């Protein structure tokens, strides 16, 4: 499978294209995640995984390995990812949960209309780690904004590595 | 018209004035507005929102304007200050004068990664991180990330990017395998290449620079001034090459409405990439 195609399919998102490019409605201006249900819906598409009806919720793109990422225990599970472990003394948990209807239609030319969206959630010592996705389905976190990881587990471990003994903020909006 | 200098050539006085102006912006609250702006415009290419700043062709012009705004703010404090650049292919060790006590201070300490030297050390009382990724109010660095070692990009790696004659290429995002823009922005692409140039420098510094609030570390501006200089160098090396895409993607193209073509105004300034291609009337690199 070509990961690029697969994942552009994943982002075939839930939100119909705006009629005019860069309409004010679609700009990221304003505090993300703080207002309007519409914004929430838009942001949630960041997590729209390749959960096409009938594929059993396989996060296909996530199974590829980023060559720029040092080995951190690749996951080959075919099920949606879920983990809970102690890593360098920290309690890390995560998983894909909260299946929500994505609504909307795929854009023409994009494969694999996402009919269902998932929400990825990761915590470190109980505090939420904000995660995002790239077009290839890999994950980024607010702690590592300039590299991505094939799995949520690697994303969480890398965040612990970067944090050292620091705690994630309890006050800034991490979750969408 | 003013000059942006290589940070290694700044005099003691120039360093002092730059640090002073940065601290004044911090004191007034202006600095933190710049940090928030960068965070706000971090939109990934899995999202359907417009993304003017990262994983996108307008990575260069968006950051050029962002730096100009910051520089203008610095100059309201001290009209003689400009943003210097850090050539990380040359000054590529923790021993570089950039990280000395009289300039940006050094690496973070073990454990909490807290920067404890120089004017941005927490104990100095002038640099409190607000709304950062962690609860800690101090600046964090972790040079070379010993937990999973990272090296700074070499001149050969930069030259490879400069040698690409095309500005950017489809799919116009973090997965563009060719084109100067993503070779410098540096997204790792499975089976193609690892994290490179611009992104790898953020990782090498680590701590605050690796995360969502990267401009919390003042080295951000010096790093991006060098990125800006590399764009100018690329233009000089390829005088016939142009910014791409020169027009909005066609209806049905997945990138339509998400990326900024030559004449699409970029938020928050409504500045078009076409207005930012040439900085020669504003500043020059020396
Ligand atoms: Cu940057």
In chain A, positions 2-21, which contact chain B (CB-CB < 8 Å)?
3-4, 7-8, 10-15, 17-18, 20-21
Q: Which of A3, A158, A163 sits opposite B190 (nearest CB)?
A: A3
Please provide the average confidence, as pLDDT, over all residues in chain B: 97
In chain B, positions 140-199, which contact chain A (CB-CB < 8 Å)?
140, 142, 145, 147-148, 171, 173-175, 186-195, 198-199
* CA B33 vs CA A139, B58, B215: distances in Å: 27, 21, 10
State whether B175 and A136 contact (CB < 8 Å).
yes
Number of CB atoms found within 10 A of residue B192's CB: 13
pLDDT tens profile B85-135? 999 999 999 999 999 999 999 999 998 999 999 999 999 999 999 877 888
User: Which residues share a beta bridge with B193?
Assistant: B189
State whether B50 and A26 contact (CB < 8 Å).
yes
pLDDT of residue A58: 34
Rounded to the nearest angstrom, the distance between the alpha carbon of B220 and the centre of ligand 1 is 7
pLDDT of residue B254: 93
Instruction: Give the distance from CA A57 to its chain's centroid.
Output: 14
Tell me the mean pLDDT in the region B37-65: 96
pLDDT of residue B153: 98
pTM metric for this prediction: 0.81
Q: Which of A48, A107, A146 sits opposite B199 (nearest CB)?
A: A146
Confidence of residue A96 (pLDDT cuts 50, 70, 90): confident
pLDDT above 90 covers a percentage of chain B that reads 96
CATH value at residue B23: 1.10.1280.10
Task: Name the most confidently modeled range: A3-12, A38-47, B57-66.
Answer: B57-66
A-chain residues within 8 Å CB-CB of B131? Answer: 169, 171-172
* CA B282 vs CA B18, B72, B242: distances in Å: 19, 11, 20
The total number of structural domains that make up chain B: 1
Rounded to the nearest angstrom, the distance between the alpha carbon of B54 and the centre of ligand 1 is 9
pLDDT above 70 covers a percentage of chain B that reads 100
pLDDT of residue A26: 34
pLDDT tens profile B188-216? 999 999 999 999 999 999 999 999 999 99
State whether B44 and A164 contact (CB < 8 Å).
no
Confidence of residue A118 (pLDDT cuts 50, 70, 90): low
pLDDT of residue B265: 98
Of A23-37, A86-100, B243-257, B267-281, the poorest mean pLDDT is in A23-37
Cα A59 to Cα B108: distance, rounded to the nearest angstrom: 37
Please provide the average confidence, as pLDDT, over all residues in chain A: 59
pLDDT of residue A169: 85
pLDDT of residue A175: 36
Q: Does A109 touch chain B (CB under 8 A)?
A: yes
State whether A133 and B268 contact (CB < 8 Å).
no
Q: Does B233 touch chain A (CB under 8 A)?
A: no
State whether A147 and B256 contact (CB < 8 Å).
no
pLDDT of residue A172: 52
Tell me the mean pLDDT in the region B43-49: 95
pLDDT of residue A42: 35
Q: How many helices (H) and strands (E) does chain B have?
A: 7, 2
pLDDT of residue A65: 36
Residue B175's Cβ-side half-sphere holds a number of Cα atoms within 13 Å equal to 22
Asked whether residue B9 carries a pLDDT value surpassing 90, the answer given is yes
Tell me the mean pLDDT in the region A33-50: 35
Asked whether residue A163 carries a pLDDT value surpassing 60, the answer given is yes
Tell me the mean pLDDT in the region A130-147: 95
Of A21 and A172, the structure prediction assigns the larger pLDDT to: A172
Angstroms from A36 CA to nearest CA on chain B:
15
pLDDT of residue A171: 66
Of A59 and A98, the structure prediction assigns the larger pLDDT to: A98
Cα A57 to Cα B113: distance, rounded to the nearest angstrom: 39
In chain B, positions 82-101, which contact chain A (CB-CB < 8 Å)?
none
State whether A22 and B50 contact (CB < 8 Å).
yes
Cα A76 to Cα A66: distance, rounded to the nearest angstrom: 14
In chain B, positions 26-55, which contact chain A (CB-CB < 8 Å)?
40-51, 55
Handedness of CA A66, A71, A75, A81 (dihedral sign): negative
Cα B269 to Cα B266: distance, rounded to the nearest angstrom: 6
Q: Which chain A residue shows the shortest CA-CA distance from B54?
A: A146
Query: In this structure, what are the phi and psi dihedrals at residue B23, rounded to the nearest 5 degrees?
Result: -65, -35
Rounded to the nearest angstrom, the distance between the alpha carbon of B219 and the centre of ligand 1 is 10
Q: Is-contact A29 A42, C-beta < 8 A?
A: no
**Going from the N-terminus, what domains does chain A have, and what CATH number goes with each?**
3-12+42-65+76-163 (3.30.1880.10)
Tell me the mean pLDDT in the region B50-66: 98
pLDDT tens profile B147-178? 889 999 999 999 999 999 999 999 999 999 99
pLDDT of residue B58: 98
Cα B193 to Cα A36: distance, rounded to the nearest angstrom: 39
Cα B159 to Cα B183: distance, rounded to the nearest angstrom: 10
Q: Which domain holds residue B217?
A: 2-285
pLDDT of residue A79: 66
Cα A24 to Cα B268: distance, rounded to the nearest angstrom: 11
Cα B139 to Cα B133: distance, rounded to the nearest angstrom: 11
């Amino acid at each position: 499978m070509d990961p690029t195609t697969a994942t552009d399919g994943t982002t075939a998102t839930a939100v119909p294209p705006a009629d005019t490019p860069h309409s004010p409605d679609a700009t990221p201006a304003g505090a993300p995640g703080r207002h309007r249900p519409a914004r929430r819906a838009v942001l949630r598409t960041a997590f729209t995984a390749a959960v096409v009806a009938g594929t059993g919720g396989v996060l296909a793109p996530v199974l590829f390995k980023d060559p720029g990422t040092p080995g951190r225990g690749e996951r080959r599970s075919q099920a949606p990812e879920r983990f809970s472990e102690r890593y360098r003394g920290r309690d890390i948990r995560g998983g894909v949960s909260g299946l929500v209807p994505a609504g909307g239609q795929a854009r023409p030319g994009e494969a694999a209309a996402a009919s269902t969206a998932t929400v990825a959630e990761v915590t470190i010592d109980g505090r939420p780690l904000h995660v995002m996705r790239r077009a290839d389905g890999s994950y980024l976190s607010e702690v590592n904004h300039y590299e991505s990881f094939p799995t949520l587990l690697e994303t969480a471990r890398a965040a612990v590595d970067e944090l050292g003994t620091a705690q994630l903020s309890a006050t800034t909006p991490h979750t969408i | 018209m003013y000059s942006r200098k290589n940070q290694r050539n700044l005099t003691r006085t120039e360093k002092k004035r730059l640090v002073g102006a940065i601290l004044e912006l911090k004191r007034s609250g202006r600095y933190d507005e710049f940090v928030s702006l960068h965070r706000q415009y971090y939109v990934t290419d899995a999202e359907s929102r417009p993304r003017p700043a990262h994983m996108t062709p307008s990575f260069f012009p968006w950051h050029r304007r962002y730096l100009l705004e910051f520089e203008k703010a610095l100059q309201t404090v001290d009209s003689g200050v400009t943003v210097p650049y850090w050539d990380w292919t040359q000054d590529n060790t923790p021993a570089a004068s950039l990280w000395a006590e009289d300039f940006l201070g050094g690496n973070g300490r073990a454990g909490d990664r807290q920067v404890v030297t120089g004017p941005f050390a927490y104990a100095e009382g002038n640099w409190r991180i607000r709304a950062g990724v962690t609860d800690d109010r101090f600046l964090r660095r972790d040079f070379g990330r010993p937990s999973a070692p990272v090296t700074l990009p070499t001149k050969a790696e930069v030259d490879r990017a400069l040698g690409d004659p095309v500005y950017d290429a489809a799919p116009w995002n973090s997965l563009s395998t060719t084109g100067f823009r993503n070779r410098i922005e540096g997204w790792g692409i499975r089976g193609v290449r690892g994290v490179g140039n611009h992104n790898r420098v953020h990782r090498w510094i680590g701590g605050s620079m690796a995360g969502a609030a990267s401009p919390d570390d003042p080295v951000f501006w010096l790093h991006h001034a060098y990125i800006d200089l590399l764009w100018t160098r690329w233009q000089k090396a390829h005088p016939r090459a142009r910014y791409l895409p020169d027009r909005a993607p066609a209806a049905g193209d997945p990138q339509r409405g998400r990326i900024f073509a030559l004449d699409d105004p970029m938020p928050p300034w409504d500045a078009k990439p076409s207005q930012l291609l040439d900085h020669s009337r504003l500043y020059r690199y020396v």
